[in-house]
Amino acid sequence: MSACVRVRAGAAALVALAVLAPASLAAQRGVPPSVVAADADRFEHKMSLITEFGARAAASPSYQGQGQRTVVNEAEVNAYLRLKAVAQLPKGVVDPSVTAPGAGRLSGSAIVDLDAVRKSRERGLFDPAQLLTGRVPVTVTGLLRTRAGIATFELESASVSGIPIPKSLLQELVTYYSRSAEHPDGISLDAQFALPAGIREIAIQAHQAIVVQ
């Protein structure tokens, strides 16, 4: 399973950013005491089990229909993002965290380098992105909806340093930080995406997610 897929499966609020944390800045800021290495190990192990089950189900009809449910919790996801996902994710965002209030709702936050986005192209005097400066906290909240192996993220709110921003401005941040060889134009906030490894649903409950294959 790719790094981007792991983030989507375990922390879908940041599908909106599809980003997180270079090692050097993470080290400078330090890892909060609440982040436990054992939690990161558990999340990594669970992702391996999900990937392996998906591969077996795809290769062998005898596995199809058996099903598997894997519970991942908030602490495991955050520990993995802070301790193990550093090298896999794009430069420009640090200190990632995810919370799951429940009922499908997710919230993700990170410190984002807005200067890099602002300077990425020529802008007019009244372009709202001209206000994007420095490294500041960006928070995104919304609903993850999954069914029959397809997921969408329904944005509810986004803010920079606690100040609400429009969806168009968040989309520019997402586009900039999610560009890749596979997605040269970045990821659209409104786009559906296929869940990996034969995952059929991800049920977001309070402080945890149940991955159903």
User: For residue range 95-108, what is the model confidence (pLDDT) as tens digits?
Assistant: 888 899 999 999 99
**Number of domains into which the chain is organized:** 1
Q: What is the pLDDT of residue 115?
A: 85
For 138, 159, 164, 203, the CA distances from 169, given in Å and listed in that order, are 12, 10, 10, 29
Contact 40, 21 (CB under 8 A): no
Residue 26 has pLDDT above 60, yes or no: no
Range of the domain at 94: 3-212
Of the listed ranges 32-36, 54-58, 109-113, 151-155, the one predicted with least confidence: 32-36
Of the listed ranges 34-38, 45-49, 138-142, 201-205, the one predicted with least confidence: 34-38
Q: What is the pLDDT of residue 117?
A: 83
pTM summary value: 0.78
Residue 33 has pLDDT above 60, yes or no: no
